[in-house]
A and B are shown apart, each in its own frame.
Chain A
Amino acid sequence: MNNGRKSRFLFTATCFGIAFLYVPMILLIFYSFNKSRIVPVWGGFSTKWYGVLFESEEVWEAIALSLKIATVNASFAMILGTLAGLALVRFGRFKGRTLFSGMISAPLVMPEVITGLSLLLLFITLKEFVGWPDQRGFTTITIAHITFSMAYVAVIIQSRLTGMAQDLEEAAQDLGAKPLRVLIDITLPLLAPGMLAGWLLAFTLSLDDLIIASFVTGPGAVTLPILIYSRIRLGLRPDINALATIIILVVAIGVLVAAWVMFRQQKQRELELSMSEEA
């Protein structure tokens, strides 16, 4: 009896929690098809706000800039984060390890206003003393994004490395492979799924960032979040609902496809494993 009450409570709590997470987003999508200019007042079905959205040159430019920054950021963050993760898990104790691991995990919880302000002041100081970066925009935003994204990648790589069985690496070593060979031929391929996950996370984090980008950006470099923010500060806008709908759908489809691919890979691996055991 008690168990039944408990599981009913858990079921209700979960349903409420999921509804809490999803109802606002569903309403956001719903009102993007509203004919009326006043967002929460239904005036009939229409797709005109999608037209309005894409007529704007600004929107296209912001999307292009954000995608460019996100791609470059994700690639650099993946490499730097993987190197950092390897160093932290596989190098044992080295000088400066505490400082290094501190610098890796701090960006995960650092308030964005502080990161943004401090990076901007760094760029200004650098410009004064070495003349670079002469203009803020794409480069400075990308550097700022790499700095915090690589921390997330490093965390993923760290957890993959600690959870990974080391028998393949040990076998290669026993067969006479040098450590660097082992790293390139065995460890990195095993890490590839983690690196891909890191790349995707870094890509999303970059697309999502408003605060840090608005600190370190310069004239003319308007990323998508900066554009959205400048519009919604003044109130609700149906064209932003249309943009939100597109973003949510793209992300949802992307996540579902990624989950499905990973699920299938896992199945495949399990199948191979059971077949090799039978043989």
Chain B
Amino acid sequence: MSDPAASSTQSRLLHRLSHLLQRNWRSLVLFIPFFWLLLFFLAPFFIVLKISLAETIIASPPFTPMIEWVDEGIMHIRVVIDNYAYLWEDDLYAKTYLNSIKISSISTILCLLIGYPMAYAIVRSSHTTKHILLMLVILPFWTSFLLRVYAWMGLLADQGTINNLLIAIGIIDEPLRMLYTPFAVYVGIVYTYVPFMILPLYANMEKIDWTLLEAAADLGAKPMTTFFTVTLPITLPGIIAGSLLVFIPATGEYVIPDLLGGGNVLMIGRVLYNEFNANIDWPVASAVAIALLLLLVLPMMLYQHMQAKQVEAE
């Protein structure tokens, strides 16, 4: 490397490289995350789609290939929609999808009923209280989701805290069955997802000009009228964002129905997981995933649209 010619070539190369970087760094900044997401986020969906159109066989991998080369380069494309037909015909799946939507919708409404007054109270409180309350809402979000669900197993069990307490004060004689019922699933979903409702509501309410409410009151509107004609409409973007952030992931929830619902509460996330891991039926599991995705694509696009609008507004 002591050769002056070589070192000059090297420095010229370095110069060229830095020049190239100077001019094209924008493409590089964009290319790296773009490529990552194409490979690890978008491509996998096409693979799921492909496998959902295959037949189940006992082999490794346990499905038929889509493209087969029959001799002399004749390509044979095999697409089977049996898995989707199976989902459609088997009542179990339709019921499970509907049940998932029912559970996540009711949970979303419950989260809204609990979260809305809380977000409102946080926004309207004084500076220091606001920070403390916000932190109290965010803190559970940083602790383990799994352990928060586990905490409710201890509360709701037949020998659990709630039953022990109710028996001790003499309200009931025998333990109430709460764990492994739909009730437990609702409690679990509301408990773990309520911060997702409060935070977007808070973010929305913080930007609101609250003198509007005073104006309405000054003009003689009753509190109820003010709430329905002023407060509710201006906080609607927050309500929608929070509801979507609860509804979408709750529909595909696996851990909560599994740990708190036992086998008694059918939810689609759990069916997918079991289809894949217990039944080793990859094509059906893939079809279940695609169907779930189709079910959620509208709310997801709505959420995406709202996010984009919010960024533009800023």
Contacts and interface: CB of A to CB of B under 8 A. Distances in A.
Asked if A and B are interacting partners, one says yes
Interface of A: 2, 6, 9-11, 13-14, 17-18, 20-22, 24-25, 27-28, 31, 38-41, 80-81, 83-84, 86-89, 91, 94, 96, 100-107, 109-114, 117-119, 121-122, 124-125, 128, 143-144, 146-147, 150, 154, 158-159, 162-163, 178-180, 183, 204, 207-208, 210-211, 215, 225, 228-229, 232-233, 235-236, 240-241, 243-244, 247-248, 251-252, 254-255, 259, 263
A96 B144 contact: no
B148 to A, nearest CB: 7
Nearest to A243: B147
Contacts of B296: 109, 111
Nearest to B138: A255
Contact of B311 (A13, A94, A111, A162): A162
Categorize the interface residue count of chain B.
Answer: 35 or more
B250 to A, nearest CB: 9
B194 interface: yes
A6 B21 CA distance: 60
A240 B146 CA distance: 11
Main secondary structure of the interface of A (DSSP, over half): helix
A18 B37 contact: no
Nearest to B141: A204
Main secondary structure of the interface of B (DSSP, over half): helix
16 contacts: A20-B114, A24-B154, A80-B32, A83-B29, A100-B30, A106-B304, A109-B248, A114-B252, A117-B285, A128-B61, A180-B21, A180-B22, A210-B145, A236-B154, A240-B147, A259-B135
Contacts, number: 253
A27 B40 contact: no
Interface string B31-55: 0111011101111110110010000
Contacts of A13: 114, 117-118, 121
B118 A118 contact: no
A118 B48 contact: yes
Given A83-B33, A91-B30, A114 B160 contact: no
A84 B33 CA distance: 6
Nearest to A150: B33
Contacts of B155: 24, 27
Nearest to A41: B159
B114 to A, nearest CB: 6
